[in-house]
Amino acid sequence: MPVLNERGYLEPAVRTVLAQDVERPMELILALGPSTDGTNELARRLAGEDDRIRLVDNPEADIPIGLNLAIRAASYPTIVRVDAHSELEPSYARRAVDTLDRVRAANVGGVMRAEGRTPFQRAVARAYNSPIGLGGGAYHGGTTEGEAESAYLGVMRRDVLAEVGLFDETIRRGEDWELNLRIRRAGYRVWFDPTLAVTYWPRESWSRLARQFVATGRWRGELVRRFGRGNSLRFFAPPLLVAVIGVAIVVAVLQAAGVVTGWWALATSVVYLPLVVYIAVIVGVAVGPGGGSGWRDKLWTAAVLPTMHLSWGSGFIVGLLRGADDTVDTSRLADRNTPLP
């Protein structure tokens, strides 16, 4: 578990890991970044209460570096990646290992089941769980078991990780997708099992969400630079939306200035049609059954969806053009997390 500024989420996450009903030895390795909110003090207290918890320092704070430090320090042949914003069901690890053996996979993942407590966080959770929000990846609500492009978090065979070279420490976001690409290219299976579910708590504020998605989008643009057609087509939808909006703004300015008139003004107005459809879809999701029960939930849903799409899409375009080597997810470095009740 890589950890950075997670004081409000760490203890519940740790408790669900220690409660796993596995019938074999287990340990939890926390890779501690330079937190500023008391997270590391909490981690040391938890480690003092249970000798299954081990701590390693991750001074660089990057997730793939922390994961590799933890994997190298691990004692057992199965690696279960977990997140400080996640909570596991008691049978998660046991069932995942059973699936690993049953289908002879190298990595098994399940469904990210996002949840929220405030109207904003609930809106983000609904976006995560919806095909409209994050593009319909299997781990965002898939129901059919089978081979997959990637795996959420992942329960992995350590010998395969060693063979393919662990996580790429030059990739700060999307490191799991890139690792699974290498696993698949090495001839191993990555498997999706919808009976496995992980509760995930999204970012708690609009600014943190926007920063997270700009960084994630920029790194996806970097991955397209590196791996080209190895990327799914669904990753190109948000940048396409940003491009359409950009073209629509240019057309509107030219029309308002009288540069484009007559038949050409009518012809170029077709660029507005996809935006009208997009707005209709967002409003439909927000006011429909998936938008929540209260008016605040619905308003936040209408705001969250385009925030995710436009932040991700604009980040993607910058990453595609300039790369992402200097991009850090500053949402992990900002204000303290809201403590859990």
pLDDT of residue 336: 43
Q: How many CB atoms lie within 10 A of CB 182?
A: 17
pLDDT of residue 94: 95
Structure tokens at 303: 């705001």
63-73 helix and 175-185 helix, angle to the nearest 10 degrees: 60
pLDDT of residue 68: 97
For the chain, where are the alpha helices, taking DSSP H only?
Answer: 10-18, 39-49, 63-73, 92-103, 119-129, 131-134, 158-164, 175-185, 206-227, 237-256, 262-268, 272-287, 295-322
pLDDT of residue 235: 87
Kindly provide the b/e burial profile for residues 208-223, where b requires at least 16 CB atoms within 10 angstroms of the residue's own CB.
Answer: bbbbbbbbbbbbbbbb
Q: What CATH superfamily classification does 2-202 receive?
A: Spore Coat Polysaccharide Biosynthesis Protein SpsA; Chain A (3.90.550.10)
pLDDT of residue 18: 96
Q: How far apart are CA 143 and CA 128, in angstroms?
A: 16
Structure tokens at 302: 């209408």
Contact present, 133 and 140 (Cβ < 8 Å):
yes
**Beta 146-147 vs 86-88: how paired, if at all?**
unpaired
pLDDT of residue 338: 42
Q: How far apart are CA 318 and CA 217, in angstroms?
A: 9
**Global pTM value:** 0.86
Q: Which parts of the chain sit beneath pLDDT 70?
A: 135-142, 290-292, 333-341
pLDDT of residue 224: 94
Domain ranges, ordered by start, for the chain:
2-202, 229-332
